[in-house]
Structure 1
C-alpha cells in the first residue's frame, strides 16, 4: 500500500508540474513505467476530478493528459472500458461538486478576491460565457481549459435546477472523455504514419480541441443562421407588402 501511494504521488507531481505541459512525452514516460497501470488509473482519475470539481483545478492539464492516456492505453494495452467509465464518472462527479460549491456560496462567490489558487477573473469569464450561452455552456465548456473548471460553480451560483445541470453535465462529460481518449487511442497512431514516428498529437491538443469545439457548436451556429435568415425573409416580405385598404 505504501508503494501504491508513493507511485501515485510521483505521478501527480509529474502531472502538476507546469514545466511538463509543453512536453506530453513526459506524461507518456510516467504512465508507461513498469508496474504502475492501476496507479496510473487512479492518478488520471484524480486529476480529472480535481480539474473539474475544485477551484484550484484550472492549473491541471486535463485535455493533454486525456489524449496521452489514450495513447498509452493503446500501446500498453490497457483495459479501455473500465478506464473510460471511471473517467466519465469522475468528470460528472467533479462538475457536480463544482455545482454544489457554487450553490452553497451563492452570488457572493463572484466577489471573492483572487489568490494563488483562485483567479476571480477566470470565474467572471465563465459567468459571462454562461450568460451568453445558457445551459449549453455546461457541454461546450468541457472542451475549454480553465472555463470548464468554473462553469459548474457559476451554474450553481445562478441556481440552475440541478436536474437540468446534471443532464448537460452527463452529456458533456461523456463527450469530453470519449473524444479526448479516442483522439489519443486512434488518431495519434494514424497521424504518425503520415508525419513520422516522432509526431505526437498531444503536442497539438490545443488545435484538436478547437476543431472539436467547432464541430460541437456548428449545428447550433447553423440553426441560429437559419433562424436569422427566416426572420429576415419574413421581414422583407412584410416590408414589400402593399398597404391594406378598407372599402
Structure 2
C-alpha cells in the first residue's frame, strides 16, 4: 500500500516520471493524457505540467523512441488527446444521465460535472478548445458534450483543434524555453507550480462566483 501511495505522490512530479521510467516515459505520458480526458476520475492528473516537462525533455523522448523528430512526438500526444476526448464523449453519451444521479466520492464530485455543463452552455462547442487549458474542465467538457448529445462531427472538429492547440503550444513552449534557457531544468519545480497555479486559478474563481450566485 505504501509503495502505491509513493507512486501516486511521484506521479505529480513530472521530472521523476521522465527520469524513473526512461524508455517508457512516453507511454506513461500518453496514458496520463488519455486518462485525463477520457475518464471522469482523470481531473486530478498533472496534464499541463507533464506536457511542459515533456517539452523540456524532448530530446530524451525522441532518443528513447526510435530517434523520431520532436514534431512526431507531439503529434502522437495530440492524437492520444483526441482519442481521450472521444472516450469522454462516449462515456457521457452512454451514461451522462446516470452521472448526474451518481453519489459523490473521492474520485467524483457532481459539482464538477455541473460546473462543466455551465461552462459548456456559455461557450458552446468552443468550450472544447478553451477547456483543454483548464484542468478540471478538460476532463468534463467531452463528457458533457456526449451527455447533451451534440453532433459528433461538430464535436470532432473542435476536439481536434483543441487537442492540437493544447499539445503543440505547451510542449513547444517547454522545448524552446529549454533551448533558450538551459538552466530551466534547475528550477522546474517552481515552473510547474506556476503552471498549476495559473491553470487552476480560473477554476477557483468560477467556483467562488458560482457559490455566491447560489446563495443569492
Same-fold call, TM cutoff 0.5: yes
Equivalent position of 1:43 in the other structure: 28
After superposition, the C-alpha distances for 1:68-111 in whole angstroms (9 at most, x for unaligned) are 11111146654413321221111000000100111112434222
The CA distance in 2 between the partners of 1:123 and 1:63, in whole Å, is: 20
**Residue 199 (structure 1) aligned to one of 166, 187, 190:** 187
TM superposition score normalised by structure 2: 0.78
CA contact (8 A) 1:103 1:158 kept: yes
Deviations, residues 197-219 of structure 1 (Å, cap 9, x unaligned):
73333332136658xx9xxxxxx
Greater helix share, 1 or 2?
Answer: 2
Measure the CA separation in 1 of the matches of 2:166 and 2:185: 26
In structure 2, distance between residues paired with 1:166 and 1:185: 28
Deviation sequence 1:93-133 (CA, Å, 0-9, x none): 00001001111124342222111211111111101100111
Q: Which aligned pairs between 1:137-216 and structure 2 lie closer than 5 A?
A: 137-191=127-181, 198-200=186-188, 201-206=191-196, 209=199
Is it true that 1:82 corresponds to 2:68 in the alignment? Answer: no
* Secondary structure in 1 matching 2:57: helix
SS in 1 for 2:149: coil
C-alpha distance in 2, partners of 1:77/1:102? 35
Question: Do 1:54 and 1:97's aligned partners in 2 also have CA atoms closer than 8 Å?
Answer: yes
* Alignment match, 1:123: 113
1:168-221 C-alpha deviation (Å, 9 max, x unpaired): 00000000011111121112443566xx773333332136658xx9xxxxxxxx
Query: Which structure has the greater CA radius of gyration?
Result: 1
Paired residue total = 192
Tell me the CA shift for residue 144 of structure 1.
Answer: 0.1
Whole-Å separation in 2 of the counterparts to 1:85 and 1:170: 11
8 Å contact 1:126–1:150 — kept in the other structure? Answer: yes
The residue that corresponds to 1:28 in the other structure is 15
- Give unpaired runs (5+ residues) of structure 2: 203-216
SS at match of 1:146: helix
Larger RCO, structures 1/2 (Cα 8 Å, 6+ apart): 2
TM (norm. structure 1) is 0.69
